[in-house]
Structure 1
């Protein structure tokens, strides 16, 4: 056994030597000779490994480790004291961390793996934060029971700290990029996926971070594809050559609209650790405002040249020191001069002698003042006529604050002077005419500021011109009218439409009179408002008359409202009457009929012949009274019933009436013939009553000489196609014709037959109440239509009904 112990452990470097030299008899494991073979085998494997390994063994989790693990313990720390000691004694600072992990291995036979896990340990004289990548594996003893934990590990502290340093560096770089005043972005790979984009870049692109980050920039901004941007990126990515451009126009989508921006930008290649291009960085500045400003300046300069040419201004540049004059061709034309070597005295000779002093004072004021030169004078043109010119300029001083040169323009204002004189003459005539009128006349500038009042205004108001200028024109307007007056006037000024307003003006005695004010804009040849000319006319008497008329209208309206109220009350009474008629009035009739019938049945033999006749006449009278009440109720319902219109097929309605009148039609052996009828928007139950009354009327007035025949037809046409004056020409009507072959009537009664209680025949000849046709007419009127009747004795009757297709068009 001694020889075997001497051979254990095999090699193992420093740790192998320490194991061999240690007195294990004083440890919980006891002498090496008593160790299980599995422990010795595991330690030999551990010591032979060049990879850091650590072993916990036995109930106290005794510590073993190899030379590769030794550097992780540092100096002035646990090495070599923890060799052979229990785990809790050796690693008190992290025992609460690692003991639960080892329990998982020992109790559940589970291997564990951790990467870059922070496990602080005591080394180099203090506790250090140490990061490990390690695995815990179960180790079995000779009886195959788990007796320990083998740790295979590597310290990754330097890698973790380096990674953190790189991340911190990248974070700082990103922060610098984000805070940079320029637009900066980086694209990764050949697809140019956006990796970084600061706020300025997103603002320049008109995008949010979600729209571009981690996406190919040419997909996030497809408008760039057709602008050569991909080719520029490809060239930088493939060659590494830098690309830069100044004021390059680029079209970008902003708020859904493609806009052109001008950008100074550059593309530079990004390299990885192997010096291979793996991306591109772009730096840009939006110079759109500067470019547009340059363009605007250039355009303004071009416009200025065009304006000078178009305005026919002559320009000059005179140098006081050299006495040299640079004049434009237009200036020479104004003065009537020719030649290339014209001097100042050539131009001065043309100035009217009486205006030379005026010119001199203008120059003196420019020298002593702000340097602006301005005067008008006359010149003697070569055409032997006097012309007027306006001279403007700017005097420039040298270093000694003395006049150096003067630059300016000269304009021929001869025509303006003539036109101004004509305008002054015209204005004088206008003022004379305005002051002679009794109406108030006034004018205003294009902005609506009143600048002239005729004499009538001052005489009416009692103001002097100075007082009215100081008080303002609203001072003569009634306080209650001022706000609306000002609002109406401002609306006219803004819209350019005529001003028309009624308001009250204060008279010099404090009273107010109504005025109708009108104003119309005066336009120039271009359609622009040059001025407003207005007038105010006294309408006080007309206004008083109108107010009185309005009072009378209100009074009549109130009376009409009362009439409507009375009518509603009468309508309510009519409804009450209808109720009484349908209940209270008919009840006595029913009793009369009932008792008379009982008397005839039980006392018939006891009655005289006259008594029997009287009872029959009484029953007939009661029946006629009941029919009259029923017809009156039907007539009243056509006025007071709810009018609910429905689209109705008249063919269907005729069939329903035939069914209702089946017994009468059979009794008279009558024939009803109808074409394909219209479909109309009508009140169905009323129109059914109309058809029933007309058909019943035809049956009642049929003749025994021939079989009753009733024809119903309809057609739709415009009102202008019917020869009836009452119809609207542009309205479509449905014409319904109902004709029969009965006894007819004399045409002179064509209107009378529709009146209440009117009968053309005695009640002994034809029964009825004289209400049926009145009900028909009322129903037609409810439908906004017209009805006419034609007849000929013994030849039948025809009823023509005209109903508007759309009741709202009546």
Structure 2
């Protein structure tokens, strides 16, 4: 090993290098990758001389192992108050492992590309002066070539901006607090003293110079809320919890001056031993929000009460409807049956004596028959439920088969040709769907043209919600529908009546021309609505009509 005199003579470039320069001169470099200082490249010696004399915090990483040097100006950033750490001859990753993930990428980039890079306001979590701190530093990485011009080292200039970053963060926080109209508070657990912002003091009715003790802080809190507040604070300070304090309570206007609802949010802070030493957070005046919420709840309750009244009324109406159905099916039909029966007896026993009176008798019986049919149609319309919740799959092919069987005699009498395509299966009520298509086909058979052979087609098509007709006032509950078209070549109707034909008792032709009660299409619309769909019609006089039924898939 060289004696100190010889080494000092070889290390004149380290003169005036401060404490770090002294440590470098005293270090035994013969056992390191770098070797003795007189063997170091001129570029390394020059850079070290600059680094050690500079008052700007710097460190240098050199060689394959990125051996670390730093100057005295860098020491405060490390938090070393009494002496330097022992980095000499060691890789930087061993000296400062905390910053290795941050600096390694930049260092590799500089050594590879030979160009300087810049990292501004970089957050570094670092342990210094016995505790972990978050530092904000700006790093400038500059390549240092060896004597052959190859980048071999990286000179890093460091400017700590932690104080500035904290001040900027605090300013931003203060601005956010003012913008949100928040109050701030803190509880010093060691002294049991509370600190309130001016806004919070005003809310609590506490003077600006008044010392806030726990007793004074509780006084404006509504008495019924105080036990909850104490329990919430105890929970936030309890071991093993997340330390969050979150509560809402009301201030007593007699103590605070105004009744306010406050939302308090805070968290517990712990020392190095894991012991809580303070609780701090924010307070928000949510009085307006709670009043709006209470008004909404009141309106909901009032609306609920109204709905309950409506439900009672509907139940009463349902009961009346059931009573009507009973009367219609028994009490109203019975007199009609007697009129028809006595009419038959009169014709049979006294027909020869009545002369033209037989015509009047037949008119009376026909009127009674029409009244009976009308009552039956009204019963059918009233018995259709307002909504179907059934989940039973119904094959429309089976439904049309039943309808064609029921209408077989009428189809034969009119000579109509009925063509039915393959139809889908949907979820619904089979009886109602049978009524729907029986009414539609009966309508087509009734209004056929006398000079043309009647032809009825039933087709099906799948439609996306976006392909539905735009001129419908029905809210689309499904994303896809089946459109079932019933197409005929009958007498048709004027399009101006398209909105009228689905109403009760609406007729476009006289009773003498075409029989009926004007209820059939109203029943169709109700059945389709019960299944979450809708029905439309298109027509031109003399060109037939198309009834399109849209049912959810």
Task: Give me the TM-score of the superposition, normalised by structure 1.
Answer: 0.44
Equivalent residue for 1:701, pick from 444, 447, 453: 447
* Matching of residues 375-454 of structure 1 within 5 Å: 390=81, 439-443=182-186, 452-454=195-197
In structure 2, the residue matched to 1:792 is 540
In structure 2, the residue matched to 1:606 is 353
Query: Are residue 540 (structure 1) and residue 287 (structure 2) matched?
Result: yes
In structure 1, the residue matched to 2:152 is none
- TM-superposition CA deviations, 1:602-654 (whole Å, max 9, x none): 11111131x22211111111011001001000101113697644212211211
1:753 counterpart SS class: coil
**Is the Cα–Cα contact under 8 Å of residues 740 and 798 in structure 1 kept in the other structure?**
yes
In structure 2, the residue matched to 1:557 is 304
**Is the Cα–Cα contact under 8 Å of residues 443 and 534 in structure 1 kept in the other structure?**
yes
Alpha-carbon offset, residue 557 of structure 1: 2.3
Equivalent residue for 1:742, pick from 490, 495, 503: 490
Alignment CA distance shift 1:483-1:659 (3 Å): farther
Query: Are residue 761 (structure 1) and residue 509 (structure 2) matched?
Result: yes
In structure 2, the residue matched to 1:579 is 326
1:704 counterpart SS class: coil
**Is the Cα–Cα contact under 8 Å of residues 442 and 450 in structure 1 kept in the other structure?**
no
Alpha-carbon offset, residue 513 of structure 1: 2.4
Alpha-carbon offset, residue 720 of structure 1: 1.5
How many residue pairs get aligned? The number is 408
- TM-superposition CA deviations, 1:568-618 (whole Å, max 9, x none): 110111111011101110000000000011101111111131x22211111
In structure 1, the residue matched to 2:222 is 478
Alpha-carbon offset, residue 514 of structure 1: 2.6
Alignment CA distance shift 1:427-1:722 (3 Å): closer
Equivalent residue for 1:685, pick from 431, 440, 446: 431
2:251 counterpart SS class: strand
| C-alpha distance in structure 1 between counterparts of 2:214 and 2:319, whole Å | 68
- TM-superposition CA deviations, 1:323-346 (whole Å, max 9, x none): xxxxxxxxx9767644549xxxxx
| C-alpha distance in structure 1 between counterparts of 2:172 and 2:225, whole Å | 29
CA RMSD of aligned residues (A): 4.6
Alignment CA distance shift 1:713-1:481 (3 Å): farther
Equivalent residue for 1:719, pick from 450, 465, 487: 465
Query: Are residue 455 (structure 1) and residue 198 (structure 2) matched?
Result: yes
* Matching of residues 190-589 of structure 1 within 5 Å: 337-338=22-23, 340=26, 390=81, 439-443=182-186, 452-463=195-206, 468-471=212-215, 476-481=220-225, 502-506=248-252, 509=255, 513-517=259-263, 519=265, 534-589=281-336
Alignment CA distance shift 1:412-1:804 (3 Å): closer
Alpha-carbon offset, residue 491 of structure 1: 8.2
- TM-superposition CA deviations, 1:536-592 (whole Å, max 9, x none): 233435534543443243223212210121011101111110111011100000000
Query: Are residue 639 (structure 1) and residue 382 (structure 2) matched?
Result: no
Alignment CA distance shift 1:444-1:614 (3 Å): farther
| C-alpha distance in structure 2 between counterparts of 1:755 and 1:594, whole Å | 33
**Is the Cα–Cα contact under 8 Å of residues 713 and 738 in structure 1 kept in the other structure?**
yes
Task: Extract unaligned runs of 5+ from structure 1.
Answer: 1-331, 342-380, 393-409, 524-529, 806-810
1:603 counterpart SS class: helix
Query: Are residue 675 (structure 1) and residue 421 (structure 2) matched?
Result: yes
| C-alpha distance in structure 2 between counterparts of 1:690 and 1:460, whole Å | 68
1:468 counterpart SS class: coil
Equivalent residue for 1:624, pick from 342, 364, 370: 370
Query: Are residue 779 (structure 1) and residue 523 (structure 2) matched?
Result: no
- TM-superposition CA deviations, 1:170-212 (whole Å, max 9, x none): xxxxxxxxxxxxxxxxxxxxxxxxxxxxxxxxxxxxxxxxxxx
| C-alpha distance in structure 1 between counterparts of 2:450 and 2:166, whole Å | 103
* Higher mean C-alpha displacement, 461-470 vs 683-692: 461-470
Task: Extract unaligned runs of 5+ from structure 2.
Answer: 1-16, 28-70, 84-127, 136-159, 270-276
1:745 counterpart SS class: coil
Alpha-carbon offset, residue 509 of structure 1: 2.4
Alpha-carbon offset, residue 719 of structure 1: 1.4
2:452 counterpart SS class: coil
**Is the Cα–Cα contact under 8 Å of residues 499 and 517 in structure 1 kept in the other structure?**
no
Alignment CA distance shift 1:798-1:519 (3 Å): same
- TM-superposition CA deviations, 1:670-711 (whole Å, max 9, x none): 221011111111200111111111111111111111121110
| C-alpha distance in structure 2 between counterparts of 1:796 and 1:428, whole Å | 80
**Is the Cα–Cα contact under 8 Å of residues 645 and 684 in structure 1 kept in the other structure?**
no
Query: Are residue 592 (structure 1) and residue 339 (structure 2) matched?
Result: yes
Higher Cα radius of gyration: 1
